[in-house]
Amino acid sequence: MSRKTMTKKIMAVLCGCLLLSLTACSLNDRSIRPSWENGVLRVGVTPNYPCLIDKETGTGQICGFEAECAALLAKRLHSRLQFVELEWEEQIPALERKEVDIIMSAMSITEMRKLQVTFSDPYLTINQMALTTKAEAEEFPSAQAILTTSKIIGVEKGTTGDIFVQRYCLTAEPLFFSSPDAAVQALRDKRIDLFIHDGPVLRNYAAPNAADGLVLLKPPLTSEELAWAVRRNDPDLIKAVDSALATWKEDGTLQGLLKKWLPQ
What is the C-alpha to C-alpha distance for residues 185 and 214, in angstroms, rounded to an integer?
11
What is the C-alpha to C-alpha distance for residues 233 and 83, in angstroms, rounded to an integer?
21
Query: Is this model's pTM higher than 0.85 or not?
Result: no
Question: Tens digit of pLDDT for each residue in 87-96?
Answer: 999 999 999 9
Banded pLDDT at 236 (limits 50, 70, 90): very high
Question: Tens digit of pLDDT for each residue in 59-68?
Answer: 999 999 999 9
Higher pLDDT, 160 or 35: 160
Instruction: State which amino acid sits at residue 45.
Output: V
Question: Tens digit of pLDDT for each residue in 108-152?
Answer: 999 999 999 999 999 999 999 999 999 899 999 999 999 999 999
Banded pLDDT at 27 (limits 50, 70, 90): very low
String of b and e for 103-125 (b: at least 16 CB within 10 Å)?
Answer: bbbbbbbeeebeeebbbbeebbe
Q: ∠84-262-214 over CA atoms, to 5°?
A: 95
- Does 5 score more than 70 pLDDT? no
Determine the 3-state secondary structure of 5 from DSSP: helix
| pLDDT on residue 32 | 57
- For each of the domains in the chain, give its residue range(s) and CATH number, in order of start: 35-125+225-261 (3.40.190.10), 128-216 (3.40.190.10)
Residue 11 burial by Cβ neighbours in a 10 Å radius (0-12, 13-18, 19+)? exposed
